[in-house]
Structure 1
Amino acid sequence: MTARPRLAVVGDRSDRVPAHSKLADLIPHLQADLDVEWMASDTVGDAIAGYDGIWVVPGSPYADQARVLHAIRAARTCGIPYLGTCGGFQHALIEYTRNVLGIADAEDVQYDANAGTPLIVPLACSLVGETAPLHLSPGSRLASVYPGRESVVETYHCKYGLNPTYVDAVLASSLHISGWDSEKAPRAVELPDHPFFIGTLFQPELSSSPADVHPLIEAFLAAVTRRSRHSL
């Protein structure tokens, strides 16, 4: 009997996080094809590297930031398909900046208001409960999710994003900014040489239902299934 793909959904479940109620509806639908495990941040361990996909969902600050960053590093270095939405986008930036760019004190000010390198800071305008245009970088994996489109409208529920001071450092790295808002602020990143590694400040969960799953989630799940098949 062929093993089913295994997906780890990482985040501290809370009724106060709108995306979590949407995920609670969506996950039973996904379990028709996948084994899905929702992990609280403080339960993530080395076994995370054995999953076929890792999805870090909204809900930052997490109870155990270090373990969330461990999950993201495992996805990045082991070629495990990764989707990071909102908090998962922010923490993908932190993990990459610390471990690839070598800025060890890169931090989200929600954890340390006096961080030496305040990488994740309050947005100039809150995006809690907002929809906004997302402009796609041509040729990016994210753009391939929306064939023939240069821009789309996405749903947000977030107050924090990448500090504009560090945009140039990201632009000079292998972590590509693949989605921008109308003011040229980064809203999505990806690793082009990875099987699938995308982080978005927007939350595709919020515009998904079991009957109509967001195309980014569909693309991620396809990557999870491919990895499972290739690992047999």
Structure 2
Amino acid sequence: MTKFIFVTGGVLSSLGKGITSASIATILKQSGYRVTMLKIDPYLNVDPGTMSPLEHGEVFVTADGAETDLDLGNYERFIDVTLGAKNSFTTGQVYLSVIRRERQGGYLGKTIQVIPHVVDEIKARIFDAAEGYDFLIVELGGTVGDIEGLPFMESIREIRHELDKDRTMNIHVTLVPYIAAAGELKTKPTQHSVQELRRIGITPHMLVCRSEKPLPKELKKKLAMSCDINNNAVVEAGDAQSIYQVPMNFLKEGILTPLSEHFNIKIKPNMDRWETLVKHIILPQGEVTIAFVGKYIELKESYKSLTEALIHAGAHLNTKVNINWCDSERIEDVGAYDIIGNSDAILVAGGFGNRGVEGKLKAIEYARVNNIPFLGICLGMQLSIVEYCRNVLGIEDANSIEFDENTTNPTIYLIDEFMDQSGNKQLRTHKSPMGGTMRLGEYPFNPKVGTKLKAAYGNNETYYERHRHRYEANPAYKQRLEEAGMIVSGESDGLIEAVELKDHPWFVGVQFHPEFTSHLETPNPIITEFVRQATKTK
């Protein structure tokens, strides 16, 4: 008897539907309910995997290898669960599924239409994601009135009719703008947005109102009356110092009352530990600065999971993590010292393509030579091997074949070549629509005893982390690297998962993306240890 909460948005985008959804899910989960979440994206792309980070922001990878919207990352970080492919779908996936079924004769020759066939596919996916849970919270991307969102709105409307009244709830996130010239908050955009929802056949049960200014009681009553909802179901959502403060703000706004009354259940969250972590984010005792070296720093959403993972680590260490955004292309031009400055540690993030690579190599050399704590992720690890081969082993043309297909020393090569040489066909890989083979999703790795990696992860022999890449470190160079002082500290089925330097205070590179498994309540071990080392340097 799963209960469903559908979260829609009105007036304009980027109001925080994802954080609103995740915050409500957190309150329910901390009350002892089994909660899961679903993100519906109305675009026609099958997934964001082939979309530019500048177009879409970060691609979040699930444990089962799905490339999804970054909102799924927020869900995992808030409710401390592992989600999968069924927790996210797009219009492209829905239509692809319907057309494939039609081509295979699955509709028995019927004329295929948006209603009922496309809508039925959407509903089936929603019900599949809900199985086994007390609550499913569904966030619909876009805003009410978008033409691409209409089949999803119809699905929400039909589900309300198919289930008991107290099993579905519609929450509408909207904007109450402040007009400075008039000195007034305006409710008309929200009223029009709700009118559009009701025209479609959906009546919201709760309004979550984003606003720059506090909402007076009379204005809340006006919204409740004009939008035909209970007075206690107008929830103010002002800007917060941290996104993790939003659940606490909702509780202060009295969100428990409309939720409890609508579903006829008791909701008593235990937020003590959550509140402590939020206090450590907002009022920390310590402070460090991390030099974040990347090529997409003009759009920081491209590194959303990683910046959040640093916040999680800081919360558990009661330390504020300041980020010094370092453009790797500028490092190429002026050198590492001028850009990195007096940062306490250096992080080189992942990425695709050769833009900014030489700047990342300079940053890695700077960290190695000056004994600065260093963490390289994915491409960051690969380049740490390239830099070591060039400047310590003296292999001047050492390179990744991603950047030089003709190099005579391919220290980094394609995953296909590893599979050909090793004969390992058990390795789960995904064929990209662009033609390349990618390693996606969760894989096991074994940290080597006595290493910094092992010290960070603890006593277990095997751990799991997520991947998203096409290139691998070439194991043919492993012996030469280790003889020169670079230890292979983590492996998986013969693949190099992590490296570190023997004679360096703390220099670690990992092929996986540890940020994808970091949650506020359970931060990632290697990122937490990296921040801890930065505090020692400071």
Shorter-chain TM-score bucket reads: 0.7 to 0.9
**Correspondence for 1:8 among 284, 291, 311:** 291
Q: Which residue matches 2:368? A: 76
Matches within 5 A, 1:5-154: 5-13=288-296, 20-26=303-309, 30=314, 33-44=320-331, 45=335, 46-47=337-338, 48=340, 50-123=342-415, 124=419, 126=429, 128-154=439-465
**Correspondence for 1:188 among 498, 508, 523:** 498
Contact 1:122 1:161 in 2 (8 A): yes
How far 1:192 moved relative to its partner?
2.5
How far 1:49 moved relative to its partner?
5.1
- Provide structure 1 residue ranges, at least 5 long, that are not aligned to the other structure: none
- Bigger helix share: 2
Q: Which residue matches 1:167? A: 478
Contact 2:309 2:524 in 1 (8 A): no
For 1:163 and 1:17, the matched residues in 2 are separated by 31
1:206 maps to 2:516: yes
Structure whose CA Rg is larger: 2
Q: Which residue matches 1:222? A: 532
Contact 2:297 2:326 in 1 (8 A): no
Q: Deviations over 1:130-180 (max 9, x none)?
A: 211111111111001122122211111111111232222223220000001
For 2:525 and 2:472, the matched residues in 1 are separated by 23
Cα distance, 1:156–1:14 mapped onto 2, change above 3 Å = farther
The 10-residue stretch of structure 1 (125-134 or 51-60) with the greater mean CA deviation from structure 2: 125-134
For 1:78 and 1:137, the matched residues in 2 are separated by 25
The 10-residue stretch of structure 1 (5-14 or 75-84) with the greater mean CA deviation from structure 2: 5-14
How far 1:14 moved relative to its partner?
8.0
Cα distance, 1:40–1:192 mapped onto 2, change above 3 Å = same
Q: Deviations over 1:47-106 (max 9, x none)?
A: 225221000011133412111111000100101000001011000000000000000100
Contact 2:310 2:531 in 1 (8 A): no
Q: SS of the residue aligned with 1:33?
A: strand
For 2:484 and 2:445, the matched residues in 1 are separated by 22
For 1:68 and 1:4, the matched residues in 2 are separated by 25
Count of matched residue pairs: 226
Cα distance, 1:28–1:189 mapped onto 2, change above 3 Å = closer
Q: SS of the residue aligned with 1:95?
A: helix
For 2:302 and 2:479, the matched residues in 1 are separated by 30
Q: SS of the residue aligned with 1:167?
A: helix
Q: SS of the residue aligned with 1:34?
A: strand
For 1:222 and 1:62, the matched residues in 2 are separated by 31
Q: Deviations over 1:96-127 (max 9, x none)?
A: 00000000100011111111211110113545
For 2:462 and 2:383, the matched residues in 1 are separated by 25
Cα distance, 1:26–1:154 mapped onto 2, change above 3 Å = closer
Contact 2:293 2:326 in 1 (8 A): yes
Contact 1:49 1:74 in 2 (8 A): no
Matched-pair identity in %? 30
For 1:156 and 1:59, the matched residues in 2 are separated by 12
TM normalised by structure 2 equals: 0.39
Contact 2:311 2:320 in 1 (8 A): no
How far 1:3 moved relative to its partner?
9.2
For 1:53 and 1:135, the matched residues in 2 are separated by 26
The 10-residue stretch of structure 1 (127-136 or 150-159) with the greater mean CA deviation from structure 2: 127-136
Q: Which residue matches 2:468? A: 157
For 2:301 and 2:491, the matched residues in 1 are separated by 23
- Provide structure 2 residue ranges, at least 5 long, that are not aligned to the other structure: 1-284, 420-426, 430-437
How far 1:17 moved relative to its partner?
11
For 1:205 and 1:34, the matched residues in 2 are separated by 15
Contact 1:141 1:192 in 2 (8 A): no
Q: SS of the residue aligned with 2:320?
A: coil
For 1:159 and 1:208, the matched residues in 2 are separated by 23
